[in-house]
Amino acid sequence: MTHHPNTAETGWLHSVETGAAVDGPGLRFVYFMSGCLFRCLYCHNPDTWQPHGGRAVTLDEAVAEVAPYAGFLRMAGGVTVSGGEPLMQAPFVGALLRRLKDEFGLHTALDTQGYLGTKADDRWLDAVDLVLLDIKHADPEQYERITARPLQPTLDFAHRLVALGKPIWLRYVLVPGLTDAAPDVERLADIAASLGPVVQRVEVLPFHQMGAGKWRALGLDYRLADTPTPSPEQVQHARGIFAARGLLAT
């Protein structure tokens, strides 16, 4: 397989999904880009970690995938670029978002953990209508234990989005025994509230075991095999902590 460089003209696409209802407002066409620096203990897409997994696509090819749905998506939702971590391929993703905006007038969302936020300058972010910002934990030590990366770059990126007035949906995966302690959720809720009105909602996403098979198939050591899915009560409790600070929690 030839390894094309990640440029504005060529990218690596893991997969696409049409009609996704959980990746931003309305129905979305989702690009899942290849490559991620994080190694989250609960990752449900470890098959997206490799930078050159999936298929190499040109910018024109990537744009063409959305074209048949563009008219529908303009009314029903839009396009989300997810991963992996889309900012691993910032030149390509930036060019793609710009084309989707210029050619089809689509609502665009960027699903990111923000760690590589410095790769997206203000002009790059002009083509992004909404950022789905995934913050894994509010405590820097725990964050690093979960992701193998530091928290601060993500918080810096969040503050940049605030300065730009860029709408944010904050996402938090609730993992029993790892991210569900009330003081930790309260600390994140304080951070979310401090970011102000750009935080349009907080999505509390219940941990599930759907990725376990992928870890096994890749020969990886899955350390959360015995971790249960949080109960509806646990999820509601976490949402309540965010709601108590005036945030819309779903």
pTM score of the predicted model: 0.94
Query: What pLDDT does 1 receive?
Result: 40
DSSP lists the bridge partners of residue 130 as: 109
Distant-in-sequence, close-in-space partners of 60: CB < 8 Å, separation ≥ 6: none
Specify the DSSP class assigned to residue 249: B
Lookup: tokens for 99: 């084309």
Query: Which of the listed CATH numbers 3.40.1440.10, 3.40.50.300, 3.20.20.70, 3.10.20.30 matches domain 10-243?
Result: 3.20.20.70
Confidence label for 2 from pLDDT (cuts 50, 70 and 90): very low
Distance between CA atoms of residues 26 and 240, nearest Å:
24
For 63-100, how does the pLDDT look when each residue is reduced to its tens digit (9 = 90+)? Answer: 999 999 999 999 999 999 999 999 999 999 999 999 99
- For the chain, how far is it from start to end, CA to CA, in angstroms? 42
Q: Is the dihedral of CA 110, 11, 6, 146 positive or negative?
A: positive
Listed by start position, the domains of the chain span 10-243
Residue type present at position 63 = V
